[in-house]
Chains A and B, each alone.
Chain A
Amino acid sequence: MAKDEVLVEVKNLFKYFPISGGVFGRTVANVKAVDGVSFIIRKGEALGLVGESGSGKTTVGRTLLRLIEPTKGKITYDGVDITTISRAKLRPMRKHMQIIFQDPFGSLNPRMTVGEMLGEPMEIHGVAHGRDKDHRIQDLLELVGLRGEHARRYPHEFSGGQRQRVGIARALALNPAFIVADEPVSALDVSIQAQIINLLIDLQSRLNLTFLFIAHDLGVVKRMCDTVAVMYLGNIMEHAENTKLFGQPLHPYTQALLSAVPIPDPDIKRERIILRGDIPSPVNPPPGCKFHTRCQNFISGLCDVKIPELREVRPLHLVACHLV
């Protein structure tokens, strides 16, 4: 298998959520959650998608799996265009692409045992039955660091970190190749986060998984991901290899974002870029470059008029900024 074989390709993805109002429920505005996003994920790669609230990173993840229908654009998985195929045709594809959720409490059905939860995908896709299924459930539980006898237990008997392991086991039940991990550690306590991060890193290398890792914690992304894409208000601002993005960020937003993260070392004194103002609303984003309202290098007549394209300014380093 070639290392740079593309597994997931997203082209010009848009997702607008209509806001209806008035007596007749007409659409009065759109939340432009994803506003023209393109990227590729290679086999075995972990792509980190970072951004603040309203950046649309979660929507991108959901849309990739068609848990949310895209407004327009094209999503290709392993060469198959899955953007418009019917639900019936999509179902067998689901074996290959799975999701891990943020909330370890909301993501497990409180009325099903762990065993039932892990067995369900196998039943639906007819991959294992009876004793075979039970064995696989035991194996899955051990794979994520739980014990076989936990299959009989209900979610409420587990702690947050343990539930997250169950969620990971469910995502792995069908041996997927691609996993969207949506903030998988941000709801956990600090000392538990490290356990789950280690587990994910280990699983990725053992099972040769491809990840879309959605997070707002830049430290976690830096630790886990091969490449990183930074989103702001529905667009990708910068997309590069890990060391390049964290080492020489080129987009002013990325620079500000990185400098804003407080580092647990009182001796490190950094020049901090404090962004002015708030993140604008995705209902009515600024024209031109969406970041121009908070950008220090903003040039009137250019940045507020023309939308910058995401271009490759250095090899494998894509930036959407007029000034780079």
Chain B
Amino acid sequence: MPEVTSIKKSTEFDLSKEEYSYWGVVWNRFRRHRMAVFGLVILTIIVLFSIITPLISHYEFDTMSLEDRFSPPSSQFLLGTDELGRDVLVRLAYGGRVSLFVAIVASISSLIIGAIIGGISGFFGGWLDNFLMRLVDVLLSIPTFPLLMILAMYFGGSLWNIILIFAILGWMGESRLIRGYFLSIKETEFVEAAFAIGASSRRIIFRHIMPNTLAVLLVSVTLSVGGVILFEAALSYLGLGIQPPTPSWGNMLQRSMEYILGAPTKGGGPPWWLTFYPGLMIFLTALSVNFLGDGLRDALDPRMKM
């Protein structure tokens, strides 16, 4: 076959030497996003701080020292002590573990629920889609915060209850998002090609559609972590979140409010460190998570435009 050899020989293709994997490209793009890198760095520091501090500190989160109540930051207590003389630094780290754990687990759980319901809705369509989306409409019409409060009051503010409440109330937005992506990816020619080679629905969902929504899921989960941290703080602030003595940033903030106008501090004046540090942590975490989410959204363009 002379023609074939001529075709083969002549079409010399020079692909770039490096083989960029998908994630390699994503990382390259992510790196250029300064705010996102900043967010990632801050978040990493916060996580490491939360994990490591309790391991190396002399204090436990519930080690009380009544003679040291309301100590301002000093070399002994780097961030001061609270009304029971507990070390704020250690409690902040512990609170970080709790708050981040709640936020991450709750976000992932609600994402899983949202992905399943949105995926079913988008892929199968028809009456099932109609039913599920109307259910979402109804749930979204219920004011979330009062419902959160009622549920938290009813079930009590244990760690797992709080996670459960957030998971149950948080999936609707995500299910709509995923449904939208399923609908549009289902129309692409590569999915049509998968049908044409005889792929089963399961294979098309898990092999062809899901991996292409991964980017959106990641962005969504990141942004939702920030939201849950703020919500948890608000709940705790009302005394309905994680219950003391387990510290969370929210309930630390809430406790501190009682003393904001005055407390028998060592140096006199209000114990500002009780409010400032948990507030700062919540602020920094929410901010850096949002930066990170924005950067991921840009880096993870699902269409992979190069």
Contacts and interface: CB of A to CB of B under 8 A. Distances in A.
**Do chains A and B stick together as partners?**
yes
Given A110-B212, A157-B16, A99 B196 contact: yes
A14 B105 CA distance: 52
B67 interface: no
Interface stretch (B7-15, B40-48, B229-237): B7-15
Interface string A134-157: 000000001001110010111111
A305 interface: no
B183 interface: no
A111 B13 CA distance: 21
B190 A108 contact: yes
A199 B7 contact: yes
Given A106-B189, A110-B303, A120 B7 contact: no
A187 B200 CA distance: 29
Contact of B19 (A102, A107, A121, A152): A152
Interface string B6-36: 0110010101100111100100000000000
Nearest to A147: B13
A94 interface: yes
B121 to A, nearest CB: 16
A174 interface: yes
Given A106-B189, A202-B7, A98 B15 contact: no
Contacts of B151: none
Contact of A94 (B198, B203, B302): B198
Interface string B204-216: 0001100110100
A111 B25 contact: no
Contacts, number: 104
* Residue of A111, A152, A162 with most chain B CB atoms under a 10 A cut-off: A111
B11 A145 contact: yes
B192 A153 contact: no
A202 B3 contact: yes
A213 interface: no
Contacts of A150: 13, 15
A170 interface: yes
B209 to A, nearest CB: 9
Interface residues of A, number: 46
Nearest to A170: B193
B193 A107 contact: yes
Interface string A43-85: 0000000000000000000100101000000000000000000
Given A67-B192, A111-B211, A124-B197, A202 B4 contact: yes
A162 B196 contact: no
Interface of A: 62, 65, 67, 90-92, 94-95, 98-99, 101-103, 106-112, 120-121, 124-125, 142, 145-147, 150, 152-158, 162, 167, 170, 173-174, 195, 198-199, 202, 206
Interface of B: 1, 3-4, 7-8, 11, 13, 15-16, 19-22, 25, 188-190, 192-200, 203, 207-208, 211-212, 214, 302-304, 306
14 contacts: A67-B195, A90-B198, A92-B198, A98-B196, A101-B189, A110-B212, A112-B211, A121-B197, A124-B203, A142-B8, A152-B19, A153-B19, A156-B306, A202-B7
